[in-house]
Structures are given as structure tokens and as C-alpha cells.
Structure 1
Amino acid sequence: MSGKDLANYLEQRVAMLGISRSEVARRADISRQTWYRLLSADLTDAKLSTITRLAEALETTPLHLLRLYLDEGVDRVHLNGASNDAGGFLARTLETPANRVSPSGN
């Protein structure tokens, strides 16, 4: 997992939106402790619901945050069907035409 990549993105996104860290935690309805553990790359077991609420609060997509968190971008995973790990499954699932998301989130 790449908690550092996610933490860097979170910091940049908060600055870009011009909101406080506390406001993000409030909007996402997550504890300040969880939020600060994400920001310090100290959380290795974030719940999908946390990532989803955080994405909404930061006006981005859960998929984008998951890719950063899992450090398994589709471009770095072999999609030959041989991988049985969670990252490979996620990548194969995301590569199906019905699930493709543009980089802008549209």
C-alpha cells in the first residue's frame, strides 16, 4: 500500500480546495484521529466507506483515492488474468468497459 502517495495527494487536495483539515474530517464524517493517521501515512487498514466519504468531501472519486492507497494503478498491473491478488482483481475489474473512469472523474 502506498499511504505516502495518498497522504501527499490529500494534502494537495485540501490546499487546492482551500479548506481546513478539520473541515475535511467533518465533511467526511470521519474521526480526526483517522484523518490524521491518513495524512501521516500511518493508516494501513482504511475502510472502503472511509475512502468513499473522504472522496466525496474532497470532491474527487473513490477510485482515484483507492488507486493511490493500494498503489496498484492499472498501468502497473499485469492484466493477463493470472494474478489472484486483490490489486490484480481490482485492476481487472476497473479495466472492464463499464467501469472505466476518465482521469477527470467524468
Structure 2
Amino acid sequence: MSSRDLADYLEQRVAMLGISRSEVARRADISRQTWYRLLSADLTDAKLSTIMRLAEALETPPLHLLRLYLGEGQTTTPLNGASNDAGGFLARTLGTPANRISPSGN
């Protein structure tokens, strides 16, 4: 897990959006204590729901935050862009070749 990578990204995203740290916690409906622990890379057991709410509050793809949090190495997703490698992520997660994953689940 790379809580430091996630913390760095969160700081950059907050600055890019020009909102306060307290406002992010309010928008994501998480405690300020949890938010500050994420920012200090002191939270190593964040809930998936917390990551998802943060992604929405920070207007960023949830998959990108998950990749950072899970330490999947350097990603090339820009701060304002969406990832286009969801199939590859699912393939690695499910152990299925990427070309065999379809939107219908077949």
C-alpha cells in the first residue's frame, strides 16, 4: 500500500480545486480526523467507501485513488483525467486476461 502516494495526490488535488481541507472532509462526509490521517499518510486501513466519497468530493476517478492507495506503482493518470485502463486493473484483480473482460461480464 502506498498511503504516501495517495496523500501526495490528495494534497495536489485540493490545491488544484482551490478548496480548503475542511471543505473536502465536509463534501466527502468523512471526519476531519480521518481526512487528516489520510493527508499525513497515517491511515493504512481506509474503507473503500471513504475512498469512493473522496473521489467524488475531489472530482477524480475512484479507480485512480484506489490504485494509489493499493500501491500499484506510478500511474499516468493526470490530475484532471480519467483512467483508460480499467480492463487491465480488473484483469489483474480477477486474474483474467484483459481481453476476456467485457461490459456484460461474459
What's the TM-score, normalizing by structure 2? 0.72
Runs of 5+ in structure 1 lacking a partner? Answer: 76-87, 99-106
The residue type equivalent to 1:14 in the other structure is: V
RMSD between aligned alpha carbons? 2.3
* Aligned residue pairs, count: 85
Q: Distance in 2 between matches of 1:91 and 1:35?
A: 30
Post-superposition Cα deviations, 1:61-81, rounded to whole Å, max 9, x if no partner, equal 110000000012598xxxxxx
1:10-68 per-position Cα deviation (integer Å, ceiling 9, x unaligned)? 00000000000000000000000000000000000000000000000000111000000
Distance 1:46 1:55 in 2: 13
Residue 40 of structure 2 is matched in structure 1 by: 40
In the alignment, does 2:23 pair up with 1:23?
yes
Q: Give the distance between the partners of 2:37 and 2:95, measured in 1 at CA.
A: 29
Indicate which of 90, 93, 105 corresponds to 2:93.
90
Calculate the TM-score normalised by the size of structure 1. Answer: 0.72
- How many Å separate the matches in 1 of 2:72 and 2:94? 7
